Structure 1
Amino acid sequence: MLEVAVTRRAGDFTLDVTLAAASGVTAVFGPSGAGKTTLARCLAGLARPDAGRIVLDGKVLFDGRTNLAPHRREIGYVFQEPRLFPHLDVERNLLYGAPRGADPSDVAEMLGIAPLLARRPGGLSGGEAARVAIGRALLRRPKLLILDEPLAALDLRRRHVVLPWLERLRGAGIPMLYISHAIEEVARLADTLVLLKDGRVGHAGPVADILADPLVAADLGPEQAGALLEGPVAPGQDGLVTVRTAVGAMQVAGVPEGARHARLRVRAEDVIVATEMPRGLSALNVLPVRIAAMQDEHGPGVMLRLEAGRGALLARVTRRSCAALGLAVGRDVWAVVKTSGVARADVGTAP
């Protein structure tokens, strides 16, 4: 359990954050300049708060009298850049800072870097180097693992390669604080989401609840807004599988082979709303839903929360369409989602 209540001022910027994080992955999300890295550095002991308190598993890391050194905080920190030692091979990089007698074999197997142990960092791809940096942090046996935008230095293709390994890491049982400004990473990895803006917490809670909130979606903007669904996977045909989500069965592509449980982010821009049962469509996903909430945006759009069963989708439509269709809270409608509308970057495995 991590308990944080800190303030830190730097010039015109003030970080003022109170949050609690338990087991699983807590994602801290926000735009550049929101204070994400400043918060991470305060937690790790690399920056000193002006005031406040940081407690990890009952151990005080910082308060008015205590300020433990970074190496005494039992926190693993993964930076944006791997920061590997070029003169050491992968195995020795992994073991740097680990307890005496540590065996890197299990961590190397989990992260898919066992065949690389004899290589030097200069011979690694960006994705391989990122995994070595994560493995090095894990071998310190931390009580908390902080990943500070670990994929930011990678191109899109390499991010897609590394993300499945991070999903695998999620099941290792080590609490993680994942810092990011990429919503697709957050949606695939997080259990809890903390939205940071201008140094303060705007929203915090279970990731599916936060992402399906029209108020949050309006703040995120049309390109970032999208609801999170997950469920068991059933075999399909033609490269598609069926994911039985809380809002209904979804036909999607891109679910990793052998996955039993999948997590999907369905973008609000990719959901079409119909007031009558559509016919003659190529779209495979047509779900009966009810409009539960409507939120006006600053531009011409309106964000709708569409509920069915225990789940929810978001849809972004224009005010003109809302008026023409007579859309209102409580009305039964149909949500139409093209199979190709669920991008492969938004499809991952669930715990």
Structure 2
Amino acid sequence: MSLDVDIRHEQEAFRLQARFHSEGRLTALFGRSGAGKTTLVNAIGGLIQPRQGRIVINGRVLVDTRRGIAVPKHKRRIGYIFQEGRLFPHLSVGQNLLFGRWFTPRRERVADFDGIVGLLGIGHLLDRRPSTLSGGEKQRVAIGRALLADPQLLLMDEPLASLDDARKAEIYPYIERLRDESSVPIVLVSHSVPEIARLATSIVVLSEGLVTASGPAAEILRHTSLFPQFGPAEAGALIETRVLRHEDVFDLTILQAKAGTLTVPRLDLSVGAPMRVRLRARDIILSLKPPEGMSALNVLPGTIVSIDGPDGSSVDVTLDCGGESLVARVTRKSVEHLSLTPGLPIHAIIKSIAFDPEALGRVPHDDHP
């Protein structure tokens, strides 16, 4: 998937000036409320017409104000998922799903009903009405309805914002499967760092109507400066691992990464299963020597690559641990006390508690462009 955006738009007192290129299977538009995420996604979907610029998806020009091109929203072949499922209450789940097909010419219908139902795990819901569904179930049905319209792009405008943590945990795996097993690229609007860390392959950061950064998720999430409202609390490294073994007697799982082994609470995954882990900068402690007499189970040897300029009392220290890039947020006093400099061997100590459920996600596959 390729998405090229270069637009300017004014709406009352708000001004959006967004320019970026993404080739991710799931591109996250990230920023706090009022940053311009929804305005941008509405421009892509055709709900608003930007004053100036271009929008191109997979080489297909949707908007080019200079050439007078503005493809109507009903011809853009874009599925849109809102914060609420917006299902028809008088129709069953099965009827809601089939409604999406009415907007696609019969000769162009290629989406497999049974395949999408199986992908989203909603086969047992087909005869039920929306009023009997949980929030997570409603969103899965809404995603299925959008997919059955054979879209060329799926827009998700904070689809999990109205769900509690339990319902989010329920729907995360289905969005991961959709990202990895469907041929439909996704643009996800979010203001949650854990959410984009788990789901995104590419990230576009917005602030006050401007794109402040864009690129692969692993690269963007390493820079705490890009997330000033979350910063050291949430930013960090994304590490791809596989399940090495389980230690059932301790209810733990051992993950194998390039950097070494990581111990996490027991995961219901088979040995060899891929797993993406987020190591937050705030959860990493640095030691000049291999630690002894500590309860922390995760210690990764590495080398200091760089030390960013100070941000108040703290700095970001970038590490190379066996080819993995990690970031530790430490105080300027610690840097001076330990005489930390680039090239210095170091040990990164990570608490097991850092591996919360939202920090763990399925590794994106490269099966689709």
Give the TM-score, by structure 2 length. Answer: 0.90
> Quick one: which amino acid aligns to residue 88 of structure 2?
F
In structure 1, the residue matched to 2:159 is 150
Q: Is residue 164 from structure 1 mapped to residue 173 from structure 2 by the alignment? A: yes
Q: State the number of aligned residues.
A: 351
**Runs (4+) off by over 6 Å:** none
The CA distance in 1 between the partners of 2:209 and 2:88, in whole Å, is 33
Q: Is residue 18 from structure 1 mapped to residue 28 from structure 2 by the alignment? A: no
Gaps of 5+ in 1: none
1:218 to 1:335, Cα distance in 2 relative to 1, 3 A: farther
Contact 2:36/2:207 (<8 A) preserved: yes
- 1:36-185 matches, within 5 Å, as 36-64=37-65, 65-98=68-101, 99=104, 100=106, 104-171=113-180, 172-185=182-195
The CA distance in 2 between the partners of 1:320 and 1:8, in whole Å, is 45
In structure 2, the residue matched to 1:193 is 203
The one-character-per-residue Cα deviations of 1:16-46 (angstroms, maximum 9, x if unpaired) are 1112222511111111111111000000000
Contact 1:111/1:165 (<8 A) preserved: yes
Query: 1:215 deviation in Å?
Result: 4.2
Contact 1:253/1:344 (<8 A) preserved: no
1:86 to 1:219, Cα distance in 2 relative to 1, 3 A: closer
Comparing 236-245 with 217-226, which one deviates more in the overlay? 217-226
The CA distance in 1 between the partners of 2:267 and 2:171, in whole Å, is 15
Q: Is residue 29 from structure 1 mapped to residue 30 from structure 2 by the alignment? A: yes
Question: Secondary structure in 2 aligned to 1:291?
Answer: strand
Instruction: Give the alignment partner of residue 291 of structure 2, picking from 278, 291, 297.
Output: 278
The one-character-per-residue Cα deviations of 1:306-341 (angstroms, maximum 9, x if unpaired) are 112221111111122222222222221110012222
Query: 1:160 deviation in Å?
Result: 1.2
Identity between Structure 1 and Structure 2 (%): 42
Contact 2:24/2:202 (<8 A) preserved: no
The CA distance in 1 between the partners of 2:291 and 2:58, in whole Å, is 53
1:204 to 1:158, Cα distance in 2 relative to 1, 3 A: same
1:254 to 1:84, Cα distance in 2 relative to 1, 3 A: farther
In structure 2, the residue matched to 1:203 is 213
1:224 to 1:105, Cα distance in 2 relative to 1, 3 A: same
Contact 1:255/1:262 (<8 A) preserved: no
Comparing 256-265 with 33-42, which one deviates more in the overlay? 256-265
Contact 1:26/1:192 (<8 A) preserved: yes
> Quick one: which amino acid aligns to residue 269 of structure 2?
E
> Quick one: which amino acid aligns to residue 265 of structure 2?
A
Q: Is residue 266 from structure 1 mapped to residue 289 from structure 2 by the alignment? A: no
> Quick one: which amino acid aligns to residue 300 of structure 1?
S
The CA distance in 1 between the partners of 2:142 and 2:256, in whole Å, is 36
The CA distance in 1 between the partners of 2:328 and 2:246, in whole Å, is 26
Question: Secondary structure in 2 aligned to 1:322?
Answer: helix
Question: Secondary structure in 1 aligned to 2:198?
Answer: helix
Question: Secondary structure in 2 aligned to 1:178?
Answer: strand
1:122 to 1:214, Cα distance in 2 relative to 1, 3 A: closer
Q: Is residue 326 from structure 1 mapped to residue 343 from structure 2 by the alignment? A: no
In structure 2, the residue matched to 1:305 is 318
Contact 1:217/1:226 (<8 A) preserved: no
Give the TM-score, by structure 1 length. Answer: 0.95
> Quick one: which amino acid aligns to residue 251 of structure 1?
T
In structure 1, the residue matched to 2:367 is none
> Quick one: which amino acid aligns to residue 251 of structure 2?
G
Root mean square deviation, CA, Å:
1.8
Q: Is residue 236 from structure 1 mapped to residue 239 from structure 2 by the alignment? A: no
